[in-house]
Amino acid sequence: MSRKEGKLYGIGVGPGDPDLITIKAVRILKSVSVIFAASSTKNDYSLARNIISKHAPEAKVETLPFPMDNDRVVLQKAWEENAKIVLKALSDRGDVAFVTLGDPMTYSTFSYLLKTVRSIESQTKVEIIPGITSYQAAASVANIPLVHGDQSLVVVSGAKGGAKLPQTLKIVDNVVILKTYKYFDQIYETLEDLDLLDQSTFFSRLGLPGEEIIRNVTTLKSATPSYLSLIIVNRKTNENQENK
């Protein structure tokens, strides 16, 4: 396939607050021929697109539909179709960008797209522009150090429930649990069983309307959190109290 020397930029636009986007990201967004953003197959809504509209209102933004499905065949078909759209844009229009919430290399749709693009066209030029993650923003807004001294930190996904949490929470000093919305009841029960509710802080919709920071997690029993929610667990309570 003969094509121009277009480069694919994977750009993190931060956790939600339009001000938490890097200067470099804004500069590149204003320079590329087209910007892609992920959306559900059910609609074309994209929070990432809303964020960049504050900084590059004239930019051309196209949404790529990705199904919220666990069927590997369905998912693979979507990755391949969207990867081909991106590759065609690189061939026809030069540099393009794909924007994602948080950081492109942290539980991001972009990582799957990148893998598929490279499987089709291995020589594709790629540059990643890192973004502020939701848990970095959460720690900052709540004044909770993620780690200090020789402490350990693990970032886990709650997308498939709390099955892996007990083992992790028993050996790691501090844990970030992302994607807590779908199996929140399981995650809550795990924290309760391990007597860690008092050492947990819940966050939802950081930097957006309806933002919540809840330190008394017991009030969330049987709750149904927003899609944009996470929990920070600090097991080293003595050190946490000493550093307040």
Report residue 98's pLDDT band, with 50, 70 and 90 as the boundaries: very high
Assess whether pLDDT exceeds 60 at residue 111: yes
Asked if residue 233 lies in contact with residue 191, where contact means CB atoms within 8 angstroms, the answer is yes
Dihedral (CA of 49, 20, 229, 96) sign:
positive
d(CA 123, CA 42): 33
Report residue 28's pLDDT band, with 50, 70 and 90 as the boundaries: very high
Question: What are the distances in angstroms from CA 21 to CA 54, 131, 138?
Answer: 11, 7, 15
Assess whether pLDDT exceeds 80 at residue 70: no
Domain residue spans of the chain = 7-129, 134-242
Please give the average per-residue pLDDT across 127-153, as a whole number.
95
Please give the average per-residue pLDDT across 13-30, as a whole number.
94
CA-only gyration radius of the chain, Å? 19
Assess whether pLDDT exceeds 90 at residue 146: yes
Q: What share of the chain is helix, strand, coil (3-state, %, to 5)?
A: 35, 25, 40
Residue 89, judged by CB atoms within 10 A of its CB (0-12, 13-18, 19+), counts as buried
Asked if residue 182 lies in contact with residue 157, where contact means CB atoms within 8 angstroms, the answer is no
Domain 7-129, classified CATH 3.40.1010.10, yes or no:
yes
The mean-pLDDT minimum among 142-146, 164-168, 188-192 falls in 164-168
Assess whether pLDDT exceeds 70 at residue 45: no
Please give the average per-residue pLDDT across 52-69, as a whole number.
84
According to CATH, what is the number of the domain 134-242? 3.30.950.10
DSSP, collapsed to helix, strand or coil, labels residue 154 as strand
